[in-house]
Amino acid sequence: MDYSFHLPNSGHNFDPKSSKLGMWLFLYTELLLFGGLFLVYMVYRELNSEAFLLASFKLNVWMGTFNTLLLITSSLTIAMSITALQKGNKKLSINLMWLTILAALGFLVVKYFEWGAKFEHGLFPGMDHYGSLPLGERLYFYLYFFMTGLHGLHVIIGAIFILFVIHGVKKGTVTPERFSLSENAGLYWHFVDLIWIYLFPLFYLIH
């Protein structure tokens, strides 16, 4: 391992507290990004509650439920992978991270089929069927695609983040003593889960 690089002033290049604080500050901005969208949802749902109710019946509750269980379980595997790393069990840690990535891919596959079905029915903004819907239902699908799309993007980024951590553990830059990267990937992944915890009831279960 090469620890020869030192910052000019402090002599430290390992500062887990600042790493974690930085990650949290970033997550707060993410929280407010989604928060703004939740507020848009709140207002439009109040103004078009009947239309939102009707439109929500067009989503598949069971696919949504399956994805929720998948994300919660992947939150467990990433949390356990951090514990495994801290206890020095690198192999278990790496395997649990692969499981998390597998769950992320599973989530995206289910989303692909869900979105695919909506495309087939022409429900994506700009398509024929979408255009013929009343305004309230159009708003619902617009928000549905935008919010789950943005969330899906976070799932992809989270999976790539975890890939970097796996690489780091294998290379020896992420170790039981220097686990900040793994911890931060975990925080990001839990955040992705956290957003879905609200998206799921708001879009699938509001009836």
Partner 1 sequence: MSDENTVHITSYKEHISTWAALMLLTFMTVAVSVFGAELRTLSVATAMIIATVKATAVGYYFMHIKYDPKLYKWMMGTVLALFVFFMIMLTIDYLTR
Query: Would residue 151 be called left, alpha or beta, if left means φ above 0 and alpha means ψ between -120 and 50 degrees?
Result: alpha
- What is the distance between the alpha carbons of residues 186 and 207, in angstroms, rounded to a whole number? 33
- What is the distance between the alpha carbons of residues 123 and 140, in angstroms, rounded to a whole number? 11
Is the CB of 89 or the CB of 122 nearer to partner 1?
89
Minimum CB separation of residue 131 from partner 1 in Å reads 27
- What is the distance between the alpha carbons of residues 201 and 198, in angstroms, rounded to a whole number? 6
79 binds partner 1 (CB under 8 A): yes
Q: According to CB under 8 A, which one of 37, 54, 63, 80 is a site residue for partner 1?
A: 80
Instruction: Give Dmax (Cα) for the chain.
Output: 65
190 binds partner 1 (CB under 8 A): yes
Site string for partner 1, 129-168 (x = CB under 8 A): ----------------------------------------
Residues contributing to the site for partner 1 (CB under 8 A): 21, 24-25, 28, 31-32, 35-36, 39, 42-43, 46, 53, 61, 65, 68-69, 72-73, 75-76, 79-80, 82-83, 86-87, 183, 186-187, 190-191, 193-194, 197-198, 200-201, 204-207
